[in-house]
Structure 1
Amino acid sequence: MLSEKSRPVIEATAGVVAENMPQITPKFYGHMFEAHPELLDGVFSRANQRNGEQAQALAGSIVKFAVHLLEHPDTLPEAVLARIAHKHTALGITPDQYQIVYENLFWAIGDVLGEAVTPEVAEAWTEVYWLMADALIKLEKDLYAKQANDKMWTDWKVASKEPTGNAAMTFRFVPADNTPVTPGEPGGYVSVRIKVEDGLRQARQYSLSQHAESTTERVITVKLDEAGEVSPMLIQSVQEGDVVELSNPYGEIVPTRTEAPIVLATAGIGITPAASILNSLAEHHSSRQVTFLHADASWDSVALRDQVMESVAALENAQAHVWLGQAPESAPEGVELHEGRMDVSAVQLPEGAEVILCGPLPFMKSVRSDLIEAGVPATAIRYEIFGPDLWLAA
């Protein structure tokens, strides 16, 4: 853990570093990409660089880690590290890249803070960085070792491409070669890496939306993001028969293998991991008590609605509640409709349930607060966030 020599230095400087991270991280990324432009080819997302989300997430993770070392000196923030490790392995991050990040990050810290970065300060924050990096490298090594193959990217052929609600498209991929296939887990995701218009490769994670545990196909549902680079190419340019690169499946927000009740609360395209979880529970004839809560603009805009309703109907102990901004004239069979924003107080929540949230960040923050107000322990609530984790950064 953090040495006694570094502890008082980190305590004295954590606030200053955190305050200046919004200036440090953009300089870091600019300096690193100038020296290593290859990292923009299939590793770092240019879209997340433009909107600043990646910089915020990096800053938040480092400061969060440092604060945890101060407050809990004998432990590591396992949930934070697991989330980052799964994202990294889905992008094929390798141990040598941590040294590149270190060199450029600490150049940026020195450039912004100047003479305040004394040798003692630099040494203490170097210790923090490598404690975090070494923990991640170990986790990532273990994740890579669990895969059925030793490849970070493999070729998959588009078997079908079908529109669904919420301006989304469901893609079904089949293996394009004989590489052993790693089964996924419901609630998990894969990265898709494709060449964009200027020839560079860009990668984006997408939840497995059906048959997650299959070794014969991968199914993802992609919503069009006009500001992105991958989803427009997938939806507008990639056709049946085309071959794209997929990572092995990863993701730490998967249901526990217990019989405890489970609550899935989603909004918009955040329905995709819940659709996968419901599909898996139905395929395994689960008797778990399942409460599915979803919010959307209208019934027609609900992505994967037929699949989700089929899964709910197949489960012996499941209920579904959907909140809509524009309610249909009649409620679809098997679902109770509500108008307006999601209100968990309108539902009898099962005791002892594990809760998984997915949707826009304001939605998840609001619902999490409501769940805690309703008596759900904070430790029982987990969330999946698409893109850099700005909740962690906050």
Structure 2
Amino acid sequence: MLSDKTIAIVKSTVPVLEKHGTDITKRFYQLLFADHPELLNIFNHANQSQGRQQTALANAVYAAAQHIDKLETILPVVKQIAHKHRSLGIKPEHYPIVGKNLLAAIKDVLGDAAGEDILQAWAEAYGAIANAFIGVEADMYRQAEEQAGGWEGFRPFVVKSKVRESDVITSFYLVPQNGQALASFQPGQYISVKMDIPGEKHTHIRQYSLSDAPGKPYYRISVKREDAIHGRPAGKVSVYLHEHVGEGDVLWLSAPAGDFTLDQEDTRPVVFISGGVGLTPLVSMLNTLAVTNSTRKATFLHAARNGNVHALKQEVEELASRSPHVSVFWSYEKPAQRDKELNAFDKEGYIDLPWLQKVVPTKEASFYFCGPVPFMQALNGLLKEWGVAAADIHYEFFGPTGNLEDAANANPEVAAGQR
């Protein structure tokens, strides 16, 4: 239990963290990887190079400082991050390493402003925060291993089939190499894929949503090929999966994780809205409603550049054709000529509030959405403008958790695009 003095000192650093948080986390990762380069086998290098991981950590540290006297208020965020940690293989022995380098980074960035009293208070606070994570993650590791068909760490899966879904997205159907039972999962969850790519110094781990319903004899992931664009490097794992991994090859997977899941106890109408490859967890949710013969009213909206990059379209349309409870609508930013000839979309341009209100029967529903961050920022703003209750808005970030509150600054040209 933290003392009142420690709590007061940590809270006094909140304005400093708001101003210098990202500088501290950037320095932290420099120190961490210099001291323990083996951790580069766990962390996503792309998120590091783009600054997303540093920003996410800065936000987490800032939130912890704000609520250090009531850490239970950030328990949902702790659980969300803990799911990712369990999926990646973060263990209790990693936390002292992180703590040491975080304190060193605070000292380096703040200099004399970080006196011994501040460093000592943060050391105590970090210990409390780390214990919270370790406790939550211990339960998650135990559940992942002890559930029917569960396992510890990473398990070998064979690519049973590889299916091209669009110009940029390919699905991989994965079955356990040993032929034994397959753990179930909640629709919306993801798995981690660990890969050793020839010529790469470090192991790469990437998390991919499971894109089909649970209860099947396989896991399916639908992966977008991330080519180099606008100065952003190509995705090493996604490109390797597309170009070099085929049927019969082996991939190493962690057990399913994640807290962006469909509430199957809710019987109210549900609305799924996706952009680009963000449709993968939502297709899993929609397919789950189908295989459970749910009578819940569902509306599925998807935004893509055009039909050439629209994955799983036929699968969703066939599901809707078999169910009177499901409606589907497509919004294409720049429809291809073939899309226009076939009348293959419902709206040209970006999702806006008038169209949303036209195709969604009611705002008294549960809304689940996923896609590029600008897309989600814009959509979050539309739902709030419509008056959708905050408790009915659910979303998933692909990668480090970001911020959807900057909706006013979301660029619609980016927002509606392919992830």
TM-score tier by shorter-chain length is: over 0.9
Q: After superposition, what is the alpha-carbon deviation per residue over 1:212-243, rounded to whole angstroms, capped at 9, x for unaligned?
A: 343x3110000011332211111111121111
Aligned residue in 2 for 1:203 = 205
Aligned: 1:17 with 2:14: no
> Whole-Å Cα distance in 2 between the matches of residues 120 and 349 of structure 1?
57
Aligned residue in 1 for 2:313 = 305
> Whole-Å Cα distance in 2 between the matches of residues 84 and 128 of structure 1?
18
Deviation of the 1:180 alpha carbon: 4.7
1:268/1:295 contact within 8 Å kept: yes
Q: After superposition, what is the alpha-carbon deviation per residue over 1:5-27, rounded to whole angstroms, capped at 9, x for unaligned?
A: 12332332111123112221122
Letter in 1 for 2:242: I
What SS is found at the alignment partner of 1:295? Answer: strand
1:69/1:76 contact within 8 Å kept: no
Aligned residue in 2 for 1:115 = 112
**Which deviates the most, 383-392 or 371-380?**
383-392
Q: After superposition, what is the alpha-carbon deviation per residue over 1:29-50, rounded to whole angstroms, capped at 9, x for unaligned?
A: 1211122111112x11122222
Q: 1:24 to 1:392 in 2, by over 3 A?
A: farther
Deviation of the 1:392 alpha carbon: 7.5
> Whole-Å Cα distance in 2 between the matches of residues 139 and 178 of structure 1?
31
What SS is found at the alignment partner of 1:367? Answer: helix
Aligned: 1:76 with 2:78: no
Q: 1:316 to 1:82 in 2, by over 3 A?
A: farther
Q: 1:393 to 1:181 in 2, by over 3 A?
A: farther
1:131 pairs with one of 111, 116, 128 = 128
Aligned: 1:276 with 2:273: no
> Whole-Å Cα distance in 2 between the matches of residues 74 and 35 of structure 1?
29
Aligned residue in 2 for 1:4 = 4
> Whole-Å Cα distance in 2 between the matches of residues 224 and 39 of structure 1?
25
1:322/1:338 contact within 8 Å kept: yes
> Whole-Å Cα distance in 2 between the matches of residues 163 and 150 of structure 1?
29
Aligned residue in 2 for 1:340 = 349
TM-score (norm 2): 0.87
Deviation of the 1:198 alpha carbon: 1.8
Q: 1:162 to 1:348 in 2, by over 3 A?
A: closer
Aligned: 1:218 with 2:215: no
Deviation of the 1:76 alpha carbon: 2.4
Aligned: 1:142 with 2:154: no
Letter in 1 for 2:308: D
2:376/2:404 contact within 8 Å kept: no
Deviation of the 1:349 alpha carbon: 4.1
Q: 1:285 to 1:145 in 2, by over 3 A?
A: same
Aligned residue in 2 for 1:368 = 380
> Whole-Å Cα distance in 2 between the matches of residues 199 and 11 of structure 1?
41
TM-score (norm 1): 0.92
Aligned residue in 1 for 2:302 = 294
Q: 1:289 to 1:130 in 2, by over 3 A?
A: farther
Aligned residue in 1 for 2:44 = 45
Any unmatched runs of 5+ in structure 1? none
Q: After superposition, what is the alpha-carbon deviation per residue over 1:258-303, rounded to whole angstroms, capped at 9, x for unaligned?
A: 2122111110110111111111111111111111111111123211
Q: After superposition, what is the alpha-carbon deviation per residue over 1:71-110, rounded to whole angstroms, capped at 9, x for unaligned?
A: xx37321321121011111101111111111111111111
RMSD of aligned Cα (Å): 2.0
> Whole-Å Cα distance in 2 between the matches of residues 317 and 213 of structure 1?
22
What SS is found at the alignment partner of 2:282? Answer: helix
Any unmatched runs of 5+ in structure 2? 228-233, 407-419
Aligned: 1:235 with 2:242: yes
Deviation of the 1:178 alpha carbon: 5.2
> Whole-Å Cα distance in 1 between the matches of residues 396 and 71 of structure 2?
27
Deviation of the 1:352 alpha carbon: 3.4
> Whole-Å Cα distance in 2 between the matches of residues 74 and 269 of structure 1?
34
Deviation of the 1:355 alpha carbon: 1.4
Aligned: 1:170 with 2:171: yes
Deviation of the 1:129 alpha carbon: 2.2
Letter in 2 for 1:204: R
Aligned residue in 1 for 2:330 = 322
> Whole-Å Cα distance in 2 between the matches of residues 393 and 108 of structure 1?
28
Deviation of the 1:393 alpha carbon: 11
What SS is found at the alignment partner of 1:109? Answer: helix
Q: 1:354 to 1:133 in 2, by over 3 A?
A: farther
Q: Number of aligned pairs?
A: 387
2:85/2:137 contact within 8 Å kept: yes
What SS is found at the alignment partner of 1:256? Answer: coil
Aligned residue in 1 for 2:188 = 187
Letter in 2 for 1:61: A
Aligned residue in 1 for 2:56 = 57
Identity of aligned residues (%): 36
Q: After superposition, what is the alpha-carbon deviation per residue over 1:146-174, rounded to whole angstroms, capped at 9, x for unaligned?
A: 12344110000111111112501100111
Q: 1:316 to 1:134 in 2, by over 3 A?
A: farther
What SS is found at the alignment partner of 2:347? Answer: strand
